[in-house]
Chains A and B, each alone.
Chain A
Amino acid sequence: MIDVLVIGAGGAGLTAALTAKDAGASVLVVAKAYPTNAQTSMAQGGMNAALSNAGDDTVDAHIADTIKSARGLCDERMVETMCSDAPHAIAWLDSIGVPFSRVETKESGIKTVAQRQMGGASAKRACYAQDYTGLKILHTLYDTCLKQDIDFLDEHYLLSLIVEDETVKGATFLDIRTGEVRQIDAKSVIIATGGYAGLYHNYTTNMTGASGDGIAAVLRAGGAISDMEFVQFHPTALKSSSILISESARGEGGYLVNNKGERFIDELKPRDVVSRAIFEQFKQGYEVFLDVRHLGEEKLMELLPQEVALCKLHENVDPATQLIPIKPVAHYSMGGIDVDHTMAVDGIKGCFAVGECSNAKVHGANRLGGNSLLEITAFGKRAGESAYKYASLASIKPASDTQLQQDKNYLENLYSKTPTENFYDKREALGTLFYEKVGIVRNNASLNEALNYIIDTQENLGNMGIADKRKTNNTNLTDFLEFANALLLSSTIVSAAIARDESRGAHYKEEFAELDDEKFKNHIVFQWKKENA
């Protein structure tokens, strides 16, 4: 039996896999696509670590900035751990070959890594590799996994965790190529499946596959999920395509202007504040643009080559000479699987979670740019260590096939029914509904309308299903399964948002515009209790 089953092959999963293998565990990484397809590749701006390579900085300042941005909802001990680990995490990435951007210096190692300014940071703290930081970290991790002979199982879609006696025994997967359902037994499981901001379909920087599959699986298996109402909106996505323009564009000196050419906000405030300021401009009837023309073509091509290409392709705009039309869209989910200091999932023994799918309570109500790549590396290592330790003492009694049979039946049922409603329309409608009613500025009336819509849609899910009945390589099926997961999670997001009658970080409610520590300085947790438990 495998010691550590890692589900998800982005930066968090690969770091955890490398760590567990290095400790001596047998490891298998299973993911619904190929490892380098993961959303980590989309992280552009950088990874925070107090290295003082570009002016004075301290770990304490990094901790203070992170806590301030979290607006009272983080676990300060976890923040301290992450920020203190950061220089080691950079050193480790540097040692495996990540091609960071560099500074001119006589020193060596991590002292050569270039650092840039990001929003909400009191120093130039984000280590970067041009504007391809996530891509280059992910690919270097993948190369290192190949070097260390990590086993991968590609194109396997997570269906369910197998949990018996509140203990994880493995997971079931749909083999996308063959259409078979299979069970993989393991002594411990690490979930690293990414966030759920993809459910803001058409209004998100995320890929459609960011449907919170692992979070939904934990919820169904009896584990706890928390802080689901906190979804970060990134201030600068391209207006027509929702494609991300990195925060580093503002960090490097870009302005936000309305169509009168006026600046209206300090561009380097945290993302929640900037997004709301843009939303306010929209409400007053203005359009908003990112202006980087003053940086000049040469500097733009050096610092932000990817952004320049994306603007030209998707918006027909040359940032060197023209304003970039933007809008804020859903970008990152702070909430997720509730974990403790060892990344262990609350409610399921032997199960760990890391990265955007988890809620390690370091981002609180609003994540700082540059802290997510840090989290996946620093806590990826922790998850790998914890899972290894757990596996070395865990039972090797394999699970029964009850869950496998249940999942097979579910899929057979899907194949046997003819859908009367098109779930792709519903997916789009859900995205628009969330942007309009569960977005940057919320109110209880709209949230309740959203909840009613979701409940209706959940009741109708049985009428949707799949129109493509082929067993092998059925992406109509995986699209549907992703939609079902997103729909499940959507009710938790809205319910938590309704319950939180205050404004805090990314959650802003018009009629309760102030922070209310007395009533709400706590985490809203969802957990399904089994009957007769």
Chain B
Amino acid sequence: MILQILRSETNSLQSYTLEEKETTLLHALMEIKKTQDPTLTFTAGCRASVCGTCAVRVNGKEQLSCAYKIQDGDIVEPLNYHPILRDLKVDKNRAKETLVKSTAWLHSAKEACSSPKDEKLTERQTDCILCNSCYSACPVYVVNPDFLGPFSLTRAYRYSVDKREEDVKGIIDNVQTNGVWDCTLCGECTLACPKGIDPKMDIMMLRGKSLQYGYTDPSLAQQSFGEPNFGFDPNF
């Protein structure tokens, strides 16, 4: 079985031949590093889909290496929109800054009577392992590198519906710029998430909440209804 991996030094695909058997990509990468090529560089951790370390793209789609079973001819590349450090290893710092900008934490806590129903409200969102697959799949980054992005907005949403949060507005205020309105609702993030999280839905919910707090969709606000305007539309 042949696996093709993008090598950063040459910026080209390198082929590795592996034994024909059912195996995870992570296991294959470790086998290559051990027996064929110690310079092949990737990151990994738990092997159990929970540490968020090993996401890559296989045939253009985001996958956790530890949860993907390889097939002959697979093309393995690093995540999109992350500076490549070496081979499949990327720099996640810039992506993680979006968590700070979106202030995705409990702003002002109060004791609450949380029920199993409340738990369900954020159960899926809090399964997030910060693997950055959704960030890599998001086409908004082609045009706006400052977009807060799916995982940060999902996390902001998770805190905004937490019964313990007294300052929901504090969160909503911080997801307006480069935030909820910049999403195109294409749903690529939802397809990419290995944990079955639906950031697109969370962003739509945040939009609803934003309207409740008096925010409006800036693309609507800038539209001119008075006279025909055939000029440049920055939001098109």
- Listed in ascending order, the chain A residues whose CB lies under 8 Å from chain B are 33-34, 36-39, 41-42, 94-97, 99-109, 112, 114, 129-130, 132, 135-136, 139, 143-144, 146-147, 154, 177, 207-209, 241, 243-244, 306, 309-310, 313-314, 422, 424-425, 428, 466-468, 470, 472-476, 479
Contacts and interface: CB of A to CB of B under 8 A. Distances in A.
SS class of chain B's interface: helix, strand, loop or mixed? loop
Given A42-B46, A108-B111, A129-B126, A96 B106 contact: yes
Contacts of A107: 113
B48 A244 contact: yes
Interface residues of B, number: 55
A13 B202 CA distance: 31
Contacts of A112: 112-115
A42 B50 CA distance: 6
Interface string B86-127: 100101110010011001111001011111101100110011
Contacts of A144: 105-106
Contact of A36 (B35, B116, B118, B129): B129
B34 interface: yes
A38 B51 contact: yes
The 10 nearest A-B residue pairs measured at CB:
A97-B106, A473-B86, A424-B34, A147-B105, A143-B105, A108-B113, A467-B38, A468-B39, A109-B111, A476-B38
Contact of A309 (B49, B86, B93): B49
A315 B27 CA distance: 14
A98 B198 CA distance: 20
Contact of A97 (B34, B51, B105, B113): B105
B119 A99 contact: yes
B128 interface: yes
Interface string B11-40: 000000000000010000000011100110
Interface string B117-144: 0110011001111100000000000000
Given A425-B34, A475-B42, 20 more contacts: A33-B43, A34-B52, A36-B51, A38-B51, A41-B51, A99-B158, A101-B116, A102-B119, A109-B112, A132-B126, A136-B126, A143-B106, A146-B104, A146-B105, A177-B91, A207-B45, A310-B48, A428-B34, A472-B85, A475-B89
Contact of B127 (A132, A207, A479): A132
Contacts of A41: 46, 50-52, 129
B16 to A, nearest CB: 16
A100 B115 CA distance: 10
B99 A103 contact: no
B162 A143 contact: no
Nearest to A207: B45
Contacts of B44: 207-208
Contacts, number: 154
A102 B41 CA distance: 42
12 contacts: A33-B45, A34-B52, A34-B96, A41-B52, A95-B109, A97-B109, A100-B114, A177-B85, A314-B24, A422-B34, A467-B39, A475-B43
B191 interface: no
Given A139-B126, A244-B48, A475-B43, A104 B115 contact: yes
A207 B33 CA distance: 17
B147 interface: no
Contacts of B38: 424, 466-468, 476
B105 A154 contact: no
A108 B112 CA distance: 5
Nearest to B53: A37
Contacts of A100: 114, 119
Given A95-B109, A108-B113, A473-B85, A101 B119 contact: yes
